[in-house]
Structure 1
């Protein structure tokens, strides 16, 4: 991993913004595209402040706009490069101390994740099948596992689809996916046998392998895919995969600047990675009960739609999401925030072209975005010491939603 001095983050700062109401959120959304802001934490009016990274050339204008609107703000991090350098040093030291640690308790490279999935497929052929959803722009296979005691042939079992690392800088998400695989396959406990016997699983640990690798070797804060089209931009790569799905495409919370982190791409499904996941969703659509799209960070459990409308089954959807939050909160660290649950537009902010909205629209009953917890002021660079805590508490929530998925599915039959 390297983000050298003089990089794009040199002299960038992160500012806390005290949100009062939805108008303040609207202004941040407006400035996000106008000033190429990087929203680390969207915040919630009256509950938690937003964290916004600002490049030096836009800092004066950004703060002036906040002052004009009467919005309080403060410096949250005055040296982003130093924070990233400190994380790299501490992570490398931690790896030396924790040599040969389990793959789900660290931040592995993509090749290590592939090897782990392949090993499980070889050692547990009766329940694990490794599948390539398709190759990425740079040619990496998007591998996922199917976990099933009945080879995905039992129509009485719902399917649970879970993915992680759509935004590649959100390093803490793949360990949760890998830990879930581990608990279902290598460490299946008596109290969890129903999860394997009653539910079929599709788990994609890394949605964005190209971005994942780039974030490890070049730019720790890289978010987008790594596609390149010189006719669109001769210098900028990729698109925001969570703006690239064909629902409300390109209409809000996006930027037309191909260098922006919220650039949705030139058209819906322009990115091979989002097309691969789209095809995966359709492959299992007839029995899929839950689609869980994991992100970091902020302690949110969200559902659609992002255009101020609600799904027809919103009562049941909220029930499942709230049950997940309750089971995670029951195991959280004492000083960690509680999860906020609700419609993504009302609780957080609306974004067009999300996989959450797309899965809900095409017929997945419970399509949920999970924003994993925040710890202290670490943002995206969560120290690896917290991984085990995040894994165990989140797995409890995943297990509860799987049980509810089974009950709702059986009731439907």
Structure 2
């Protein structure tokens, strides 16, 4: 009887709104370290503890060139972590002393409380979608909405197509597949706005002569969760049948060398969990079906990510092989990086294949488009920074990052056209 009374009380309290939702995840005194990895044993140790996601969280996987890993450590694990580093002779640099401080600072933007949608703060999904509706209403002759599909939690995955004339080559931009990478949807919405409002002759040419298919928030469930519950959430939100861990890395879930060569994880608790099968995540499955349907309209595919300052191209599954047009891909990459570095900020981007420049990553959207749809130009852009802020890039850097994106895109598209791909 007592159990029935307790259950009835819980139901009544919930209905009355007295029981609150679970509070936001906090990261007080969580630290982020940059580790220098010298051998396979050291790497194996870090990869193993990185799977203990309630204690550690890999922010940036092992970089083949720099030989570094960025990892977040909970305060309760700090002593054990430091002993582990000492025992394995792993050198480290403290990048962020208190992750919660960074999160709190990200929210404090005195100039960002204007009623107008701007780029001085990060917006939630509902605000981005309301802005998208305004744009569609304001520019009905050159914009139209497209629907990729539904997420696991039933949200609509929405994009916008910008087209000034028939017959233009198409460029597809997919953004925010990883929920915590907020700078990506901020950059996507800014880029949309520039294509529609800029008076700059080069930007106008970019807008007028290409069809733009832009998906500001791909991982809608994860993005919503990162705002409402856990700022550091990365994956989708689909539960797993045999694990308490939620979600998969949608950018390891595409059917292109899926789960090969340690380019993803089969552990549901890992941040790079590839899912139970290619396309097991409704979001990835929907995007595959949508892109297949419009494949003849698309010549270039670009995926927005953060962080690290890279322009990454296929292949992700191996650093032993390269696409037959890799020289052209590198030429385009150099144009992109040179244009960005020439700005007053002096930001340096590395470019090259994902597996060669960064790490082996399999089942990614860009590789799927390249390998399965036969597109010859595809890139992943990893935005600012190099780890000082990581995923929690201050809002004051949104506009500078976007300015770098625009000059980079102008150079990328110009060189792609010059080489005969558009």
Does the pair score TM above 0.5? yes
Is residue 79 of structure 1 aligned with residue 98 of structure 2?
yes
- 2-structure distance, mates of 1:29, 1:292: 31
- 2-structure distance, mates of 1:349, 1:29: 15
- Aligned match of 1:289: 299
Is residue 330 of structure 1 aligned with residue 342 of structure 2?
yes
Is residue 255 of structure 1 aligned with residue 271 of structure 2?
no
Is residue 244 of structure 1 aligned with residue 253 of structure 2?
yes
| SS of match in other structure, 1:191 | helix
Is residue 38 of structure 1 aligned with residue 57 of structure 2?
yes
Alignment of 1:346-361 (within 5 A): 346-361=356-371
Q: Which stretch shifts more, 120-129 or 379-388?
A: 120-129
| SS of match in other structure, 2:157 | strand
Instruction: Rate the CA distance shift 1:400–1:105 in 2: closer, same or farther, 3 A.
Output: farther
TM-score, normalised by the number of residues in structure 1: 0.86
| SS of match in other structure, 1:286 | helix
| SS of match in other structure, 1:163 | strand
* Unaligned segments of structure 1, at least 5 residues: none
Cα distance per residue 1:57-103 (max 9 Å; x no partner): 66566555544543311433343334333433x24x4534xx23533
- 2-structure distance, mates of 1:212, 1:332: 32
Structure 1 residue 106, shift from structure 2 partner:
2.6
- 1:301–1:369 Cα contact (<8 Å) kept: yes
| SS of match in other structure, 1:172 | helix
Q: Which stretch shifts more, 113-122 or 185-194?
A: 185-194
Instruction: Rate the CA distance shift 1:182–1:255 in 2: closer, same or farther, 3 A.
Output: same
Structure 1 residue 386, shift from structure 2 partner:
1.0
| SS of match in other structure, 1:183 | helix
Structure 1 residue 25, shift from structure 2 partner:
8.4
Question: Which has the greater radius of gyration?
Answer: 2
* Unaligned segments of structure 2, at least 5 residues: 1-20
Q: Which stretch shifts more, 253-262 or 358-367?
A: 253-262
Alignment of 1:385-400 (within 5 A): 385-400=396-411
Aligned-CA RMSD value: 2.8
- Aligned match of 2:322: 310
- 2-structure distance, mates of 1:106, 1:406: 34
- 1-structure distance, mates of 2:68, 2:225: 30
- Aligned match of 1:383: 394
Alignment of 1:125-140 (within 5 A): 125-140=140-155
- 2-structure distance, mates of 1:382, 1:102: 19
Cα distance per residue 1:316-358 (max 9 Å; x no partner): 1111122111111212524x4x111111112111112111211
- 1:132–1:141 Cα contact (<8 Å) kept: yes
Alignment of 1:5-404 (within 5 A): 7=25, 9=27, 12-20=30-38, 23=40, 26-27=43-44, 30-31=47-48, 34-36=51-53, 37-42=56-61, 44=63, 49-55=68-74, 62-64=81-83, 66-88=85-107, 90-91=108-109, 93-96=110-113, 99-150=114-165, 153-154=166-167, 157-229=168-240, 231-233=241-243, 235-251=244-260, 252-306=262-316, 307-308=318-319, 309-331=321-343, 333-334=345-346, 336=347, 338-362=348-372, 363-374=374-385, 377-404=388-415
Structure 1 residue 24, shift from structure 2 partner:
7.8
Size of the alignment, in residue pairs?
Answer: 396
Structure 1 residue 359, shift from structure 2 partner:
1.4
| SS of match in other structure, 1:236 | strand
- 1:303–1:369 Cα contact (<8 Å) kept: yes
Instruction: Rate the CA distance shift 1:116–1:72 in 2: closer, same or farther, 3 A.
Output: same
| SS of match in other structure, 1:388 | helix
Q: Which stretch shifts more, 360-369 or 181-190?
A: 181-190
Instruction: Rate the CA distance shift 1:72–1:195 in 2: closer, same or farther, 3 A.
Output: same
